[in-house]
Structure 1
Amino acid sequence: MNKPIRRLALFTMALFGVLLLNISWIQTFQAESLREHPYNSRQFLKSLNQHRGSILVGSEEVAYSEPVGGDSERYQRHYENGPMYAPVVGAFRAGSATGIERAANSFLDGSNELLAVNNFRDMLTGEEPKGADVYLTVDSGAQQAAMDGLQSLGKNGAAVALNPQTGAVLASYSSPTYDPNSVASVTNTEEANQNWTELEASEQQPLLNRGLNQVYPPGSTFKVVTAATALENGATPESTQEAPASLDLGQPLPNAWDGPCNGGAPDSLAHSIEISCNTSMANWAIELGGQKLHDQASAFGFNQGPMEIPLPVNESSAPLETDPNILGRAGIGQANIQATPLQMALVAAGVANDGDVMKPYLIDSIQNSNLEEVKAAQPEVAFPDAVSSGTAEDLTRMMIGVTEGDEASGPAGAISGIDVAGKTGTAETGTGHTHNWFISFAPADDPQIAVAVVVENGDASGGAVAAPIAQDMMEAVINE
């Protein structure tokens, strides 16, 4: 009888030992990560009693804190042009935060280790502790144009713009949006929480950042990737494929019009991009094969897993296809191809930047309360040599044909006096509706901005509904 008791005692002691080791491990090695974890609401509640740093676009404070009723013990967060910037800035509310408010929280609340010297100096001088200010890369004109364009249509969708030479995010707007002021009150938390609950429950998903976290079939904008695959594997803009009125890919794959491309003759790669020919581009995908198309898409950023900019970005996918019927549809951005608007902006930006895809980023710099820069963006290449500079040059000329050619499919994306490289897209959704796309960059000879716009269930053409929004966003940056 004593032997079983001894075994039980030893087992119990071992369990206590494991428990003590686990507690010691957590307190010693995981305390910092747990304290900063986004789901640790105690940190955010504590922050209500701190002077939180501002978030700025240019010189405009788009998020800032003020004492409540002159009481410096509590601070209220305010948002200027809240609905316009909400998809990026997010909201800081009792117990949690979203967007940049969450991603840059340790800087905004002053707890980041890079602010330790400044915090110590403030303590010695008796200054009130303050968080750092976060300067975004967003261009207010491009962001405004994106919001105005999507709201004028009354449609859900998203628009993303990048500086192709650096990767700086110039715009990231998602429709529908919301007003973060409605959920940030510290004086009427019951109403703020109710507003948040309603936003979470809304079928329109206003809290979803469609530009970064929603994937769509990219439709014919993906033909840029297919064309890049062809050019990287020996084709030229003048190389041709058969372009009949319809292909039998298990089910008929027709062109967007009732007839063949190029009058029934084999169509060149350049002309197929200009008019957005489905059948020739599907033939290109089938001839090139699934491995080459998959590899080229991956070179632009597909299939690379999620990323942070520092907001989280969902992965875009272009699976390796072996069935010719599926592969042909993949070549025109259908089948299993799924892309975020950011990903398609990266495709445009990679072509614009001589083949190098820069890593996208939203934070330009961070300054402490003494206006000293503690962190600055360092542009870096995410996907070098996605295509060769020669292929990028060919694609640019082909995409200019989309906005300026004799049979241009996207003339609404053109800008007077400036060459614009673009590509339209109309993606079938399987619901009887279509999503409408436009990707572009300008000026084509010295790109300052690359854009991707998607309009959900636009039921038109990308050239009709998405291209004008992209045009306004490009003009906003170019004309500054």
Structure 2
Amino acid sequence: MTRHIRHAGVFCALLLVALLLNAARVQVVQAPAYDGNPANRRSEIFRYGQPRGDILVGGRPVTGSKDTREHLRYERTYVEGPLYAPVTGFASQLYGTTLLEKAEDGILSGTDPMLAPFPLWNDFTRARSRGGDVVTTIDPAAQRAAYKGLAGRKGAVAALEPSTGRILALVSAPSYDPQPLSGNGAAAARAWTRLNADRDRPMLNRAVRQTYPPGSTFKVVTAAAALDAGVVRALGAPTDSPDPYTPPGTRTRLTNASRGCRDASLREAFTLSCNTVFAKLGVEVGATDMTATAQAFGFNDPALRIPFPVARSTFDTSLDPAQLALSSIGQYNTRATPLQMAMVAAAVANGGQLREPYLVERTTRPGGSTLAAAGSRAARQVMYPSTAVRLRALMREVVEDGTGRRAAIRGARVGGKTGTAQHGLGNSGTPYAWFVSWAQGDGDLAPRVAVAVVVEDAEADRGDISGGGDAAPIARAVMKAVLEAR
């Protein structure tokens, strides 16, 4: 009898081992196949089974989570969704994630191993930590000023802190509310269809994902190249520039919107925004040095992330002299995002040093303790410090005596550059109005904010479009909001 009991016990033990081995085979070896099976909804149920961490602006969350009591239990919510959509993006149970919701998904969803006190144990048990929070660099007052300034128009605003690269505002208009996309029902599908069918493309982040011809704002780059190369040695010296100017190898005559550009000095040409002077300067600097300067500012960089990717701003690297002349005034194939042009203004404001922009100040654990801090990124010298000093003086004259008067702020030093960029077949499109600028408060040791504004404004009268009239007041409002935040 004892022998039979022993045999039965051994057989049961073997059965138990077989069950354990089979369970391990299913859970470990075959897990990827089950996870990838479209019929398996467990991963989705698990993903939305707990609240998502929040994105914070100015110390308060602009996102949240709503308990739906359904299989996909927690749904994303947004506070002032259209205002912060170019920063947060959306987190949808149907359509995935974009922008910060995507770039910081590991932290927000709780899957990042850094959130787990015992990562290996979590891997074995497939447990998930609570989602952490993402603290942004956005200044709520500056964001609101930019959003209000673009109300009813197409365009974008990007604002930076020159000394650190912190992004203070990132606005795209028209915007959209991410909230209706959050769920998985018919309402989310209808919202998705409606937004994608909208001809104004509200889900396009114009501040970082759309490039425009920068027009005369690019003359800041051309002036930096000319001063660094020694093509121009004195701001007040004549440049021997004809009006009109015929680029080499062509019969096309380039003209100016302003009078007084013939043989103008760099100071006069910058204030009057003389196309002829800057086209000729670009040719004299040469393609090699113009390309090097543009790339030092960030053009042609495909790797810029803030942390989500930024569209590559371009300066053509293979140009004949005529093409170089047009590229040097921000036309031909030269294209830039508003963020890129804010970087140009920030480099001038920061003594010729450019710090790459960043949007995330730090990430935190659910309890609030810091998980990782960003900090200022390494700086690169894009022009001589003496060149930056002279460019700041030129930009101040634009605001004090030139086309950028509407950007002036009482009690502050403000520098700027207007731009009106032609585009379309035969330049038939409504021009884009640009303004790039920086501002330094009366008690500040250095400029505190650099801004780039572009206004598409397709409904405006073509003759009324101008960087000084359309874009400068928006930049002024953003700079004023930053300077007043003490």
TM-score in same-fold range (> 0.5): yes
* Residue 466 of structure 1, aligned match among 449, 468, 471: 471
**Structure with greater Cα Rg:** 2
After TM superposition, the structure 1 = structure 2 runs for residues 71-470 of structure 1, keeping only pairs within 5 Å, are 74-95=73-94, 96-117=96-117, 129-151=129-151, 154-185=152-183, 189-234=185-230, 235=232, 236-249=234-247, 250=250, 251-257=252-258, 259-261=259-261, 264=262, 266-381=263-378, 384-405=380-401, 408-429=402-423, 430-443=427-440, 446-456=446-456, 457=458, 459=462, 460-470=465-475
AA partner of residue 135 (structure 1): V
Cα 1:280/1:46, change in 2 over 3 Å: same
Match of 1:48 in 2: 48
AA partner of residue 255 (structure 1): N
Q: Quick one: distance in 2 between partners of 1:325 and 1:293?
A: 14
Matched, 1:479 2:477: no
Q: 1:52-107, CA deviations, whole angstroms, 9 ceiling, x for partnerless residues?
A: 101110122101113226x8971121100100000110111113111211110000
Cα 1:73/1:462, change in 2 over 3 Å: closer
AA partner of residue 111 (structure 1): T
Q: Quick one: distance in 1 between partners of 2:67 and 2:122?
A: 19
Q: TM-score, normalised by structure 1?
A: 0.84
Q: Quick one: distance in 2 between partners of 1:291 and 1:226?
A: 12
Q: Quick one: distance in 1 between partners of 2:350 and 2:466?
A: 27
**Are 1:50 and 1:129, in contact at CA under 8 Å, matched by a contact in 2?**
no
AA partner of residue 189 (structure 2): N
AA partner of residue 333 (structure 1): G
Percent of aligned pairs with the same amino acid? 40
Cα 1:48/1:273, change in 2 over 3 Å: same
Q: Quick one: distance in 2 between partners of 1:360 and 1:401?
A: 27
**Are 1:289 and 1:322, in contact at CA under 8 Å, matched by a contact in 2?**
no
**Are 2:146 and 2:157, in contact at CA under 8 Å, matched by a contact in 1?**
yes
AA partner of residue 432 (structure 2): H
Cα 1:185/1:322, change in 2 over 3 Å: closer
Cα 1:88/1:42, change in 2 over 3 Å: farther
Secondary structure of 2:324's partner?
helix
Q: Quick one: distance in 1 between partners of 2:362 and 2:418?
A: 35
Q: 1:116-169, CA deviations, whole angstroms, 9 ceiling, x for partnerless residues?
A: 11889999xxx9942001111111111111111111xx3211100111111111
Secondary structure of 1:86's partner?
helix
AA partner of residue 436 (structure 1): A
Q: CA deviation at 1:244?
A: 3.8
Q: TM-score, normalised by structure 2?
A: 0.83
Q: CA deviation at 1:392?
A: 0.8
Match of 2:3 in 1: none
**Are 1:441 and 1:474, in contact at CA under 8 Å, matched by a contact in 2?**
yes
Cα 1:246/1:42, change in 2 over 3 Å: farther
Cα 1:122/1:291, change in 2 over 3 Å: closer
Q: Quick one: distance in 1 between partners of 2:43 and 2:407?
A: 46
**Are 2:45 and 2:72, in contact at CA under 8 Å, matched by a contact in 1?**
no
Match of 1:66 in 2: 66
**Are 2:110 and 2:128, in contact at CA under 8 Å, matched by a contact in 1?**
no
**Are 2:45 and 2:71, in contact at CA under 8 Å, matched by a contact in 1?**
no
Q: Quick one: distance in 2 between partners of 1:436 and 1:219?
A: 9
Q: CA deviation at 1:451?
A: 0.5
Cα 1:197/1:120, change in 2 over 3 Å: same
Cα 1:271/1:197, change in 2 over 3 Å: same
Q: Quick one: distance in 2 between partners of 1:197 and 1:103?
A: 24
Q: Quick one: distance in 1 between partners of 2:242 and 2:469?
A: 25
**Are 2:44 and 2:72, in contact at CA under 8 Å, matched by a contact in 1?**
no
AA partner of residue 107 (structure 2): F
AA partner of residue 80 (structure 1): V
Unaligned runs of 5+ in 2: 1-27
Q: CA RMSD in A?
A: 2.6
Q: Quick one: distance in 1 between partners of 2:367 and 2:118?
A: 8
Q: Quick one: distance in 1 between partners of 2:368 and 2:71?
A: 22
**Are 2:136 and 2:360, in contact at CA under 8 Å, matched by a contact in 1?**
yes
Q: Between Structure 1 and Structure 2, how many residues are aligned?
A: 431
AA partner of residue 202 (structure 2): P
AA partner of residue 416 (structure 1): R
Q: CA deviation at 1:345?
A: 0.6
Q: Quick one: distance in 1 between partners of 2:276 and 2:198?
A: 40
**Are 2:396 and 2:413, in contact at CA under 8 Å, matched by a contact in 1?**
yes
AA partner of residue 214 (structure 1): Q
Cα 1:51/1:118, change in 2 over 3 Å: farther
**Are 1:211 and 1:340, in contact at CA under 8 Å, matched by a contact in 2?**
yes
